[in-house]
Amino acid sequence: NSIEEKLKFTNNELSVILGVVADGIRVIDSDFNVLRVNKQFCKISGVSKKKNLTGKCYEVSPGPDCHKPTCTLKQILGGASRIEKEVGKVRSDNKVVPCILTALPLKDDGGNIIGIVENFKDISKRKKAEESILESEKRYRELDETLNEIVVELDPRGKFIYANKKAFDETGYTKKRFNNGLNVMQVVVPEDRIKLAGNFKKLLRGKELIRDIYTIKRKDGTTFPAITHSNYVLDSKGKVTGIRVVAINISDIKESEEKVRESEERYRSLFDNSLDGIYRTTLGGKYIDVNPALEKMLGYGSKDELLAIDIPTQLYFRKEDRPGPNQRNRIFETRLKKKDGFFSFRYILKILNYTNYISTVVL
């Protein structure tokens, strides 16, 4: 009676344990008979407890390794001390449930293997999350390939771990070269590397988005200016694992800026060296700029002194002598006041009438 009571207590205790375990548990003897299953295993397999316990494991709840050398029971009986692998558990309705299967030997009091204990951890949610991440990553990469901007990702050492097609086209480096240890320091000119290293360290410390301009060096040695937008990449634990950079080739903008600068320099040279007086004013009659010839013509000692006067009342002898806003590209004879109060007859050619200012030449 004492032995029977102990066995009953042990069985009851085991049943309680199997009932509260979150994973599916199945016990099989060495002849493939199912000895025990818990509620979670029945849920995973889609087979009732009664049916599970009335047949061979490969009959009531078959798996992809049944009747193969990779059968878990065969491996344990063959000497394996522990089996752990990812499997697809096929339910009775043919739906596949992804699981992590862990199997251990079941031994008798003498240490002889008499079967196995299997633990099935349902990883359906994890798999679904992984698939969602992969799908999202796929869409992200597809979008990258259609962008007209360079998109790259760097590891904490500055090595490229991803680059889109635009990066290959702009730099001349192949995908193989990008993936074969190319470092970001190799694709910027030497004079930009100290700045790049400093910004890189800031990003690895979690500093916010950094924007800057670098000169990119192509594989063939030619260069182009690029404005970059960089930010750090975080893993699921919030740790910085790399840097993502979007770069835009601004060669056309730089060329336009250079042309504007050259044009402004030519204009300034003509303006300053002209023998005729030239001035620019607002529509309301306030000087914006005057050239040296006009200063000399009106007897002023400095540009600032001339810029301070009121044109309608202090430059023209009478207000009506000033050419009107609609009198464009015409020559007028008028009287201008000099600094000493005397006036002189001058020809005025109002050559341009812009939206916000007027340019006038005094002959």
For 288-327, write each residue's pLDDT tens digit: 888 898 888 888 988 888 888 877 777 776 666 666 656 5
Q: How many whole angstroms separate alpha carbon 241 and alpha carbon 31?
A: 51
Closest CA to 363 of 236, 278, 251, 242: 278
pLDDT value, residue 251: 85
Domain boundary among 99, 122, 145: 122
Q: What range does the domain containing 230 cover? A: 131-249
Domain boundary among 81, 101, 122: 122
Quick one: CA torsion of 35, 41, 42, 45, rounded to 10 degrees?
-110
Residue 255 belongs to some domain of the structure: no
11 and 114 part of one domain: yes
Which amino acid is residue 68, in one-letter code? Answer: K
277 compared with 12, residue with greater pLDDT? 277
102 and 139 part of one domain: no
Residue 39 belongs to some domain of the structure: yes
Contacts 24+ apart (CB under 8 A), 295-298: 297/346, 297/362, 298/336, 298/337, 298/338, 298/339
pLDDT value, residue 18: 61
336 and 296 part of one domain: yes
The CATH number for 347's domain is: 3.30.450.20
pLDDT value, residue 362: 76
Domain boundary among 122, 152, 177: 122
Query: What's the total number of domains in the chain?
Result: 3
Residue ranges of alpha helices (H) inside the chain are 2-20, 39-45, 49-52, 57-60, 72-77, 124-146, 165-171, 175-178, 193-204, 251-273, 292-298, 303-307
28: pLDDT strictly greater than 80:
yes
8 A C-beta contact, residue 113 and residue 30: yes
* Chain-centroid distance, C-alpha 261: 34
Which tokens hold the place of 348? 């005025």
What residues contact residue 252 under an 8 Å CB cut-off, 6+ apart?
none
Residue 257 belongs to some domain of the structure: no
Q: Which residues of 76-96 are buried (b: 16+ CB within 10 A; e: fewer)?
A: beeeeeebeeebebbeeeeee
With 0-12 CB in 10 A as exposed, 13-18 as middle and 19+ as buried, what is 280? middle
For 227-263, write each residue's pLDDT tens digit: 999 999 888 788 999 999 999 998 887 777 777 777 7
Work out the average pLDDT over 92-105. Answer: 86
Residue 259 belongs to some domain of the structure: no
Residue 172 belongs to some domain of the structure: yes
pLDDT value, residue 7: 43
106: pLDDT strictly greater than 90:
no
